[in-house]
Amino acid sequence: MSPIPELEAIRRAQILEAGLKVLTRKGTAGTTQDDICRAAGLSKGGLVHYYKSKRILFSAVFEEFFTRIFKMSADTMAEFTDPLDKILSYDWLYDQDNPETGLGYPLLLDLMSLAAHDEEYRAMMEQWINNWVKLLSSALSLGIARGIFREMDVIDVARSISAIYQGTATRWYLGGDSHSRQWAVDTYKKGIMGILSPYMK
C-alpha cells in the first residue's frame, strides 16, 4: 500500500517535535533513538522508516530548529518599517520565557560543539550564520535605498552585526547572573550602533 502523504507529514512533524525536546534536554551525546521513540510514541521501526540513522535524524532536528528560528526572525523584522528598527529587533533572543529561546540555545551550542570536529555539521553551522547575514543584509540594503545609511559593504557589515548578536547571546546564556537580559540588550544595541555610526546619514 502506498504511503499517505498527509500521514507521512504528520509522523515526521511528530518525530521532529520529539527530537527537539529530547535533544534540548539531553544533547546529542546523551540522546538515543529509543529516547526519541518514547517521546514521539512510536516504535523503533516506525522511527527508522522516516529517519534511517541517528545522524540523519539529528540533522533533521537541527534543520527544523533553523526553520523555526528564521521564520520567527523574519516575522519579527516584518513588524517594523524602519530599517534600523529591523536590525535592532532581536530583543527576543534574550528572553528566558520565550519557548523558542529555551529550545534554541542548547541546540545551537550542541551544534557548535559538533561543528568543531565534523565537516557536515560545520557546513550546517556555516549555513546558520549565512542565513543571519542574509536577514540583516536585507535590512541594511533597505536602509541604503531609503537614504538612511550611506553606501557600505552590506555583507561585511551584516557579518559584524551578526557576530555581535551571537557573541552577546552566548555570553548572556552562559554567563549567569552577571550577564542579565538588560545587559544583553544594552550591549548588542551599543555594539551595533557603533558599527553603523560611520554609515548613518
pLDDT in tens, the chain (201 residues): 456 677 778 888 899 999 999 999 999 999 988 899 899 888 888 888 888 899 999 999 999 998 988 999 999 999 999 999 999 999 999 988 888 787 889 999 999 999 999 999 999 999 999 999 999 999 999 999 999 999 999 999 999 999 999 999 999 999 988 999 999 999 999 999 999 999 999
CATH 3.90.1150.10 correct for 1-52: no
Q: How far is Cα 99 from Cα 105, in angstroms, rounded to an integer?
A: 11
Domain 55-199 has what CATH class? Answer: mainly alpha
Helix residue ranges per DSSP H, 31-180 = 33-40, 44-50, 54-78, 83-87, 99-115, 119-145, 154-174
Q: Give CATH 1.10.357.10 domain extents, the chain.
A: 55-199
User: What pTM does this model have?
Assistant: 0.89
Q: Give CATH 1.10.10.60 domain extents, the chain.
A: 1-52
Distances in whole angstroms, Cα of residue 89 to Cα of each of 38, 50, 93, 198: 38, 37, 9, 20
- Name residues whose C-beta falls within 8 Å of residue 135's C-beta, 6 or more positions apart in sequence: 70, 73, 74, 77
Q: How many residues does the chain have?
A: 201
Q: How far is Cα 145 from Cα 156, in angstroms, rounded to an integer?
A: 17
Could you give the count of Cα atoms lying within 13 Å of 157 in the half-sphere of its Cβ?
24
